[in-house]
Amino acid sequence: MRILVIEDEVKIAQFIKRGLKEEGYAVDVVNDGEEGHFLLSSNEYDAIILDLMLPKVDGLTLCRTLRTEGNQTPIIMLTAKDAVKDKVKGLDSGADDYLPKPFAFEELLARVRVLLRKKDGRVQTQLKVDDLSLDLLTHKVIRADREIDLTVKEYALLEYLMRNAGNIVTRTMISEHVWDINFDTFTNVIDVYINYLRNKIDSGFDNKMIHTVRGKGYLLKK
């Protein structure tokens, strides 16, 4: 899943980015509200982590603008202010959650997971397709009682395929949700990682789950 972090404090932004990437998320970071708005106008994100106090365009203004434009991407607002009135302003501007600084990264991560579950309309912490299951909390992947060891990027790709099980996902869709803004669209890295997954998920099973739809993309199904 791809997340945009809009935070002008470089150390905090890099701390959040590093932690999220270690959990398998694709992360883009910008340091002002104007650039954040530009990226959100030209890219699709699954969640936004938005600081309140930003140069050029502040967090409240950006949040209101996004909602007015019809952008319903889940937003967690970060701020050094923790007064009730400030929380109310943030939530009234359209934010889905509010987290005062300083915060524990584990709490931020939990709040991100909650927003993504709400976005998908799911309340469970596990994805399951036929005999394949993926635990969103422990990152454990099991097929037919056999635990499968995946790298961080393989896990992120499998999660995206499972969230879209039964539907064709194009290479563009995969790049937008599994890789960050620096992804080189002219490489075959997506095909390489699909093959990595096939070797781990389908190897040894008669029923193959990951399929190539020629000229369109990929499909994970029972």
H helix or E strand, kind and range, residue 98: strand 97-100
Q: Encode pLDDT of 86-121 as tens digits.
A: 777 778 889 999 898 888 899 999 999 888 877 666
* Residue 73 to residue 5: CA distance in whole angstroms: 13
State the chain's mean pLDDT as an integer.
Answer: 90
* Residue 57 to residue 209: CA distance in whole angstroms: 46
pLDDT at 131: 93
Fold exhibited by the domain 2-120: Rossmann fold (3.40.50)
* Residue 209 in this model has a pLDDT that exceeds 90: yes
Where residue 32 falls among pLDDT bands split at 50, 70, 90? very high
pLDDT at 204: 86
Listed in order, the ranges of the chain carrying CATH 1.10.10.10 are 126-220
Average pLDDT over residues 117-126: 68
Q: To the nearest 5 percent, what fractions of the chain are helix, strand and coil? A: 40, 20, 40
* Residue 123 in this model has a pLDDT that exceeds 60: no
Q: Half-sphere exposure (CA, 13 Å, Cβ side) for 31?
A: 7
H helix or E strand, kind and range, residue 30: strand 26-30
pLDDT at 124: 61
Where residue 18 falls among pLDDT bands split at 50, 70, 90? very high
pLDDT at 102: 86
pLDDT at 122: 54
State the burial class of residue 107 (Cβ atoms within 10 Å of its Cβ: 0-12, 13-18, 19+).
Answer: exposed
* Residue 80 in this model has a pLDDT that exceeds 90: no
Q: Sheet containing 141-143: which strands, arranged edge to edge? A: 126-129, 132-135, 141-143, 146-148
* Residue 13 to residue 63: CA distance in whole angstroms: 18
If one looks up domain 126-220 in CATH, what number appears? 1.10.10.10
* Residue 81 in this model has a pLDDT that exceeds 80: no
Listed in order, the ranges of the chain carrying CATH 3.40.50.2300 are 2-120
pLDDT at 5: 97
Contact 1, 156 (CB under 8 A): yes
pLDDT at 120: 64
- Find where tokens 């600081």 sit: 51
* Residue 207 in this model has a pLDDT that exceeds 70: yes
Average pLDDT over residues 168-192: 88
